[in-house]
Structure 1
Amino acid sequence: MLTTLVLTPPSGNALLLASHSPHGTDDSHRQMQCIMQQLQLPYQTLAMPWRRAKQEVKYNRIDGYYTAMASEEMHDTAVLSAPLFLENWYWFWHQRNAGPDNGAKLRYGAVLGSHQADWLRSNDITAEIEVSDIAQLLQLLHIGRIDIFIADLEDFDQARVRLKLPAEDFQQRFLRYAALGVYFSAQRLQQHPGLIRQFNAAAHLCATRSFALSDIEQRQISDLMLEHVRSLAKSAVLRQAVIRQNQAAMSIAQVQQADLAWQQQLAQPDGMPTQANTLLQHPASAALQHWQANYQTLVNEVILMDNQGANVAISRLTSDYWQGDETQFLSVFQQALDYYIEVVEYDQSTGRFQVKLSVPVLDETGVHIGALSIGIDVERALTATD
């Protein structure tokens, strides 16, 4: 059985949300409590089976369920919120067995009713054994009853430690990220305009599960891209552009005023800030665009910043002019770190995942004069290192 939230908005109409959290009900309920406090919506919990929850949403008898990933099955009847969690899916197999994509016939396992089990079915892969939890799955892999399964990286590690199984007995390979949110009934959203937007904003503020890369993934990203980014940061065209903008010595008040104008103009129908149009014509921006083209879909954006975090050059339109209050600038400018990889970001519009890799820009004497940040499609980067 699963818990169901009864939410009471100001209108008095209750929202019923069935809850399913692979990361434990405590985390999901704490996050939902935080979100509903932000929205000022009181709630209570009820119980409902998982499969029934999907059907109840389809027939508009409840108003949503979580934690859920995108599903074609729900496309016409519900809308998926911004992520509450990211699952970091890996293939896992015993070191004595063959891994995926090597042509061998494999015996797959899955947790009954899990998103991974759904994914296997959607990809025409039959799980020969389905069990109730990941610990059972791992034990079956250990004794050779199955050859391979998919699991969230953190869930696998926790189960392996609980079972006291040696890490060196197992092999792993990144598969994908899965964004898990709330499926809201499309009918209920029509009755409450703005609810999904307000919920998404509160979900970002109330995130309880880190979207950080694992140490291994950070090494993979840095091995793949760091030296290329450092080389770009040493470009004479980029250095000179930063030096010239620093010499202009805009006050922080002027920078913030320019940032406000940028965002206001971005919200207009044409959506192109005057300053952004100017920057995109800058020779340094052309250099960034040329560099990014060498990495095709792997790199999403490149931003060059001055000593206050203001844009000097951009490879494409950004949402802000001033990055001085953001981690991509603060993490490396006049800091001991010579690079920084941020947490994973999810782009709801594209369904893609990105991390930002930032490095300081130095003058010829080694003094920090600015910063350079690139947006990397993390799934493509992690699979490119295989």
Structure 2
Amino acid sequence: MSDEVSQADDDGIENFLILQTNLHPPYQELHNGTLGGYSVSVLNCAFERIGVGYGLAVAPRQRNRELVRNAQADGFFLARISQFMDEYAVASNPLALEKWVWVSPSRRAVEASNVKVPKPDGVATIGAILGSNEAEWLSEEGYTDLVRVPSIASLVGQVAAGRVDYALIDKHSFEIARNELGIGAEQFLVQFERYAPLVVYFSKRYVAKFPDLIDRLNTVLEFCETNPMRLEPWERDAIERVHLPAVRQLARSPDLIRNVRAVMERNRMPADQRRLVDEEWTTMARLGEPSMKARAVLGNQLSEFLRNFQLTSGGQVAEAFVFDVYGQIIGMNRLTSDFDQSDEPQYQMAQNINRDHALIDDIRFDASTRAFLSQITVPILDPDSGQTLAVLTVGLDVSAALRPES
């Protein structure tokens, strides 16, 4: 086992903690003997912000979980959210979103006229990395006789050689391993299965001793996660074909337009006043509380309309809000992180001369909804004049909206 310990502030000595992890590029990887990667960078940022020192210990996944279960370590990452781990540990907000795919030899596409992902009661040979999040999920879903291999390189190699019919694996990690092995993409068939949010699990023993740490960590994580997950062409196509028309239909809805007109701010708020309103809104939103202005917006009829829309979305929509041509929030299904949208890319929608324009954002974790979202933004037009009345943003929960069965 090797340790890589971060710097601890004087105030963080008392609650200094050790987190277990494993090597899992690009999330945790060694660079010249130093542990780095995306998740380590996020944690370094977050712990520095809250003034808590921590160290890292590298070991296999299964051993990491057992150390936390037996109260021999303070926590481990990255892990999928699981009711079994919830029994002995407490999860943070997600640090990353994995995209799990079924990888099979490309020749299977020729052998079968309609290639489908394997079922738990099928005869195909299923492979996964020993002790991985994917292996645990497969077992829980009823897949038996799994081929568990020690490393991702070994798993990819066995698929390429035809010894494993299907492997369940994170797409990004698979592509890194495939490139390192020098195997061409044309030798594999890749089919999307699901998104898997990954978290840090803290032992209940540590949480009992320092009960406010996870809340403090969650509060700053949103400021440390700087890399959005790019929408792949098939994901963007699915949003454009299935979800964008529904959002545009909502924006043209006479009921929505009537509610927008009923609550529209007729004048631009003076800059000084808007700044103060936004500061109070943002500060209280970080505490999970609405400011006086936010409470008023949440209570209006437009917000009630948006809440009803979200509730009837089948879980595919996590948020919906409307801001006026000045960038001021005038309706929302739930509390947004800020009031003033004039510094956001979505604000440009208000003055865009192309009335058919829509903005579809890449995937980011949204702390207020605790979901990974892709936001769709469209203008709300006056049906008489064609001028922009306001702008509608709908946040799709990609884990629900882009799963295969949807």
TM-score (norm 2): 0.78
CA deviations over 1:31-51 (Å, ceiling 9, x no partner): 333333323344555554543
Q: Distance in 2 between matches of 1:76 and 1:251?
A: 52
Report the Cα offset of residue 116 of structure 1. 0.8
Moved runs in structure 1, 4+ residues, more than 6 A? 263-272, 347-351
Change (3 A) 1:325 1:19: farther
User: Which residue of 324, 337, 349 maps to 2:341?
Assistant: 324
Q: Does 1:302 align with 2:320?
A: yes
Q: Does 1:182 align with 2:184?
A: no
Q: Does 1:374 align with 2:397?
A: no
The answer as to whether partners of 2:3 and 2:55 remain within 8 angstroms in 1 is: no
Between 124-133 and 343-352, the greater mean CA deviation after superposition: 343-352
Change (3 A) 1:75 1:304: same
The answer as to whether partners of 2:102 and 2:192 remain within 8 angstroms in 1 is: yes
Between 81-90 and 350-359, the greater mean CA deviation after superposition: 350-359
Structure 1 letter corresponding to 2:377: S
Q: Does 1:197 align with 2:215?
A: yes
Report the Cα offset of residue 352 of structure 1. 4.6
The answer as to whether partners of 1:328 and 1:356 remain within 8 angstroms in 2 is: no
Change (3 A) 1:231 1:274: same
Q: Distance in 2 between matches of 1:219 and 1:377?
A: 16
Change (3 A) 1:111 1:171: same
The answer as to whether partners of 1:266 and 1:272 remain within 8 angstroms in 2 is: yes
The answer as to whether partners of 2:103 and 2:168 remain within 8 angstroms in 1 is: yes
User: Which residue of 198, 206, 229 maps to 2:247?
Assistant: 229
Structure 2 letter corresponding to 1:184: F
Report the Cα offset of residue 273 of structure 1. 5.4
Structure 1 letter corresponding to 2:149: V
**Cross-structure match for 2:85:** 74
The 5-angstrom pairing of residues 95-134 of structure 1 reads 95=109, 96=111, 98-100=115-117, 104-134=122-152
**Cross-structure match for 1:15:** 17
Q: Secondary structure at the residue paired with 2:339?
A: coil
CA deviations over 1:74-123 (Å, ceiling 9, x no partner): 32332122222221112233424542257742210111221111111222
The answer as to whether partners of 1:110 and 1:127 remain within 8 angstroms in 2 is: no
Between 298-307 and 170-179, the greater mean CA deviation after superposition: 170-179
Percentage identity across paired residues of the two chains: 27
Report the Cα offset of residue 327 of structure 1. 4.1
Report the Cα offset of residue 357 of structure 1. 1.4
The answer as to whether partners of 1:112 and 1:132 remain within 8 angstroms in 2 is: yes
RMSD (Å) for aligned C-alpha atoms: 3.7
Q: Distance in 1 between matches of 2:103 and 2:348?
A: 34
Structure 2 letter corresponding to 1:339: A
Q: Distance in 1 between matches of 2:58 and 2:13?
A: 21
For structure 1, list consecutive stretches of 5 or more residues without a partner in the other structure: none
The 5-angstrom pairing of residues 151-170 of structure 1 reads 151-163=169-181, 165-167=183-185, 169-170=187-188
Change (3 A) 1:320 1:349: closer
Change (3 A) 1:349 1:268: closer
The 5-angstrom pairing of residues 270-285 of structure 1 reads 276=295, 280-282=299-301, 284-285=302-303
User: Which residue of 359, 367, 372 maps to 1:340?
Assistant: 359
The answer as to whether partners of 1:174 and 1:382 remain within 8 angstroms in 2 is: no
Q: Secondary structure at the residue paired with 1:383?
A: coil
Q: Distance in 1 between matches of 2:212 and 2:311?
A: 38
TM-score (norm 1): 0.81
Q: Distance in 1 between matches of 2:288 and 2:309?
A: 30
Change (3 A) 1:40 1:261: closer
The answer as to whether partners of 1:79 and 1:183 remain within 8 angstroms in 2 is: yes
Number of corresponding residues: 384
For structure 2, list consecutive stretches of 5 or more residues without a partner in the other structure: 30-35
